Amino acid sequence: MAAPLFVLDVKEKETSEAIVPSFPQIRSGTSGFPEHKKRTKVSAFKQKRQGAQPDDKTPKVFLSSSDKPLSPPNHGPKPAPTGQSFKANEKSNIDRENSQRLASMSPQEIEQARQELFNGLDPSILQMLMKRANLDEGVAPSVFDQPQPTPEATSSQSEQADTAPEIRIEDTSISIKANPNPLPNKAPTVPHTANDDSNSANIPPKPHLPEAKDKDSQPTTNPDDDSAPAVPPKEYIINASDHESAHWPRAPQPADLDPSSPDFLQNLHAKYFPSLPADPSKLAWMAPLPTPHSPADRDSPYYPGQSSLPISALRFSFRGSLLPPRISRAVPVSKGLHHHGEAPEAAGYTIRELARLARSAVPGQRCIAYQTLGRILYRLGKGEWGGVRQDDVSMGIWREFEEGAVLRSLHEEVGTEEGGGRGHRSARAFATEAIWLLEKGGWKDKLKKA
């Protein structure tokens, strides 16, 4: 059960007088800008670089003409102290700052800070810190402290440090006078001392440098080099005479294809598709045009020598005019009226072919079909091919329109909105124009009167 809520009086705390904030006083310099703060405390980096090195531990350089050592030049700040002294200085500085801060705090403040630490830290962490604390020595041992050197190692290092190595350099002026023709590229000799034996074990051996070769000597090849040789080996060179002597079996190659050959389709299938079954009907559109007045040409449905032609075989131009067989064969290919239809040698389109293009998914093909069909309907209404009697050519052309459902395709195109996947603005405009040409020609009125 939840505890009841009590409404108590609001008690205000007693506040002391507010302290007015004061801004730091900045001393302006002679130039009008504040002066920079002078750093009185030397940084740790500068202390490390200003570390002193005893004079007796520096190496001494002697000349062969005198036994007095040369004075080493002064190159600026002294070398830095060792890592142990720097770490000890940092520890002492931190300890001194902590002691000063504790001395400036009252016992109540110390007890309050202690309670804040006990309340904010985990008990297990407090127990671990209290175990590591060493109040007697002042500094607790750390796992990161470096191991102390043994007395034997300390004594050996001090002996080596006290005895600095001596380096002797011969005076070149004296040697030139004694020997006027010295050998070139001769290194100065350094006398062997007893200290060299002790330091030779720590000096790594010099790398072996190959001697200079004469210019006339030929370069040797490196077996580890991956670059291509200048001249390939003889065993990798293949001569043309080796191919002629060897027997290489070759598959029989068919002859080159001739598009004008009557067996072009059979040769094409045998060369590129020998493993597939042959279907001449699918390759009929690729067959070459028959020779004029040949037996194949006489079998064409639009051959000029025929006594009569069916209405379905009549061909029209893009202007809607009728193309007789003789004129259809005289039209050049550049007019764009030839296609792979039932009579590829004849130019023009039949009503059935235009009706098929009117149902195409390509908007450009539908536009051409609608425009041509509209012009044919206009000429049909004007009576260019006869009247409305049953034995007239015009009635046969109108029956082709009805069988191909041309008017239904035109109305569907007009009623289709744009953006629906099939709707096209130009196709709808040409379909609207074809319906208007049908009304303008007056073919429907003639059918009603008949």
310 compared with 279, residue with greater pLDDT: 310
When comparing pLDDT for 172 and 357, which is higher? Answer: 357
Please compute the mean of the pLDDT values over residues 174-190 and round it to a whole number.
Answer: 48
Enumerate the H helices of 318-424 as residue ranges.
325-330, 351-358, 363-382, 393-403, 406-415
Q: What is the DSSP string of 66-117?
A: -SSEEPPP--SSPPPPPHHHHHHHHHHHHHHHHHHHHHHS-HHHHHHHHHHH
Give the torsion sign (CA, 118, 120, 121, 123): positive
Ranked by mean pLDDT, which of 30-34, 162-166, 252-256, 331-335 comes out on top? Answer: 331-335
Q: What is the dihedral of CA 401, 405, 409, 411, to 10 degrees?
A: 80
317: nearest Cα among 379, 395, 388, 409: 379
Do the Cβ atoms of 369 and 359 come closer than 8 Å?
no
CA atoms of 146 and 143, how far apart (whole Å): 8
Of the candidates 149, 129, 148, 150, the one whose C-alpha atom is nearest the C-alpha of residue 140 is: 129
Cα-flanking dihedrals φ and ψ of residue 283, to 5°?
-105, 10
Rg for the chain (alpha carbons), in Å? 56
Three-state DSSP state, 330: helix
Q: How confident is the model at residue 410 (pLDDT cuts 50, 70, 90)?
A: very high
Q: Mean pLDDT, the chain, as a whole number?
A: 75
pLDDT band at residue 271 using 50, 70 and 90 as cut-offs: confident
Which token pair is 143?
């796992």
Q: Which residues sit opposite 62 in a β-bridge?
A: 69, 168
pLDDT computed for residue 365 by the predictor: 93
Mean pLDDT of 384-410: 91
| 35 band by pLDDT with thresholds 50, 70 and 90 | confident
Please state the rounded mean pLDDT for residues 80-87. Answer: 65
Count of residues making up the chain: 450
Q: What pLDDT sits at residue 53?
A: 46
